[in-house]
Amino acid sequence: MTDHSSLQPAIDIEGLTKVYSDGKVALDDVTVSVPRGQIFGLLGPNGAGKSTLINVLAGLVNKTGGTARIWGFDIDVNPRNAKNSIGIVNQEILFDPFFTPLETLENQAGFYGVPQDRRRSMELLRAVHLDDKANAYSRTLSGGMKRRLMVAKAMVHSPPILVLDEPTAGVDIMLRQQLWDYVRHLNAQGVTIVLTTHYLEEAEQLCDRIAIINHGRLIANKPTRELVGMAQEKLVQVTVERDVGDIPTHPSFEKVELSGERTLNITFRKDRANAGQVLAAVQQCGFQIVDVVTREPDLEDVFLNLTAAAA
């Protein structure tokens, strides 16, 4: 993979603020940069401000304060270059239902002034598995197909950055997988990807780095592995050789639940104990251990902890 580390960020946002006309503060002094060449996840609960941030980059929402640069181009100073550097797939499905997918892409290429010999509409339709629908009316496409057409439409001018706002909402598992394969393929070719999603598992698998936004504020921005590592609670499931009876207590146990007669689900905090100490404590409580399963914390744990703390 190309080493992009010495280059300026793909997207550079500083002190971005958006107050809607009704006084709603959707973005509150957000500073974040997206390194080139990465798959970057923007996560947050409903209403956190993710779409507002993307719509500011798309030029659909006017910011109240701060600056944003796309591929080095300030969106106020160089709006045209900024726009040409980014392809955005919004949550809403926007295209004329009376055009065919092929016409939709050709029109979009015309809009961006892509010369005929550099257009690749059929190639893009093939990439999103819509080549057999090239000449069907777009209104006859299923929801998932329309969404994939939106992705192809965002790529007609070959931007170095692709932004996907909830791209898999309402898309079934198989098509979701195909969409992600395509996103990975684009990324392998050097396209920087920014995506918002509610599917934490997906973000964890796909993203190199994740930022979390809550109530318009940035509350985390870390490499995915580091973020997942922030989950403090771990679970160890211990099966013992006899019926448990009274649930044991110990300072290293955060929470203990009984499952069946002989299995204890013990939650402990990584910063206070390790699994070995927890197991030793179970033995001190007079149980002989016959089986152990541990569960690693995942992004969902971190997300819930962080958003709860920031609420």
Residue numbers of the site for ligand ATP (CB under 6 A)?
Answer: 20, 22, 24, 26, 44, 46-52
- Is-contact 244 261, C-beta < 8 A? yes
Q: What Cα–Cα distance (Å) separates residue 25 from each residue in 20, 21, 91, 215, 308?
A: 6, 9, 21, 8, 19
Least gap, CB of 36 to ligand ATP (angstroms): 24
Least gap, CB of 200 to ligand ATP (angstroms): 13
Closer to ligand ATP by Cβ: residue 91 or 232: 91
Least gap, CB of 62 to ligand ATP (angstroms): 11
Closer to ligand ATP by Cβ: residue 47 or 97: 47
Structure tokens at 231: 């989950």
Q: Which of 278, 238, 294, 286 is nearest to 262 (CA)?
A: 238
Closer to ligand ATP by Cβ: residue 21 or 135: 21
Closer to ligand ATP by Cβ: residue 42 or 127: 42
Least gap, CB of 299 to ligand ATP (angstroms): 16
Question: Can you list the alpha helix ranges (DSSP code H) found in the chain?
Answer: 50-58, 79-84, 101-111, 121-127, 143-154, 173-188, 200-206, 224-229, 275-284, 299-310
Closer to ligand ATP by Cβ: residue 165 or 287: 165
Give the bridge partners for 165, in sequence order: 196
Least gap, CB of 161 to ligand ATP (angstroms): 19
* Distance, CA of 269 to CA of 233 (rounded, Å): 5
Q: Dmax over Cα atoms in the chain, in whole Å?
A: 78
